[in-house]
Copies of this chain bind each other. A is one copy, B any other.
Amino acid sequence: MEFSEYFPVWDNMTPQQQQAVSASLVSRSVKKGALLHNGGADCTGLLLIKTGQLRAFILSKEGREVTLYRLFDRDICLFSASCILRSIQFDVAISAEKDTQLWIIPPDVYRQLMEQSACVANYTNEIMASRFSEVMWLMEQVMWNSMDKRVAAFLLEEASIQAADRLPITHESIANHLGTHREVVTRVLRYLQNEGMVRLARGTVELTDRAKLEALGGK
């Protein structure tokens, strides 16, 4: 599969624009766990995922994390090229949750492309609006939902991403996704276990009653 088949507005670009992108494109493999991008100091470029899974998250000064969204096959990561838009004034970190194959479009090449092509600029707009929507969903979760609902929603999402009911995940890691402390997650998980929704074992959480979890944390 070629880049042109992954980039949705390829056919709307001129041959010159296609050539500029092709010539500057970098193909890269990253291992699970790798940090691809770390906040505003970096301007790596746009990432287009061939296969794999990336996680975008924010970090507090004290090292606490919260997951903003995930990126999957064919998704584009815009915030790894935040220097192309001067109004982006926040820092996002990007790490690989699976071994990932991706392309990098250098920021200066993409910026030029956006300036030349209304189609590419509008496509970029749609990408940003998608990420904005995910962050707003998270904001509503954080503002209005209690932690038991958020843990239930997180477990359902994980089970869907991993296509499995038995998740190899620690309480610490769930806390890092949700921006809370391990002790809080442990308390919530024990409550969910008492209610028959999950079964806990060392290093795993198994979903045992999806319907009940969905009633609690469903979108």
* Interface, chain A (partner B; CB < 8 A): 58, 60-62, 64, 66, 85-90, 114-122, 124-133, 135-140, 142-144, 179
When chains A and B are docked, how far (Å) is the Cα of A85 from the Cα of B119?
13
With beta carbons under 8 angstroms apart, the residue of B58, B121, B129 that contacts A118 is B121
The 8 nearest A-B residue pairs measured at CB: A121-B121, A87-B129, A90-B136, A89-B133, A118-B118, A87-B130, A60-B144, A87-B126
- A119 → chain B closest CB, angstroms: 8
When chains A and B are docked, how far (Å) is the Cα of A144 from the Cα of B66?
10
- Tell me how many chains of this kind the complex includes: 2
Q: A64-B144, A118-B117, A128-B128 are known contacts. Are A136 and B135 too (CB-CB below 8 A)?
A: yes
When chains A and B are docked, how far (Å) is the Cα of A194 from the Cα of B8?
59
- A144 → chain B closest CB, angstroms: 4
Given contacts A88-B133, A121-B125, list 16 more A-B pairs with CB under 8 A: A58-B140, A64-B144, A66-B143, A87-B126, A87-B127, A87-B129, A87-B130, A90-B137, A90-B140, A114-B121, A114-B125, A125-B125, A132-B135, A139-B139, A143-B179, A144-B179
With beta carbons under 8 angstroms apart, the residue of B85, B114, B115, B129 that contacts A85 is B129
- A34 → chain B closest CB, angstroms: 24
The chain B residue with its CB closest to the CB of A126 is B87
Q: Which residues of B contact A137 (CB under 8 A)?
A: 90
- A175 → chain B closest CB, angstroms: 12
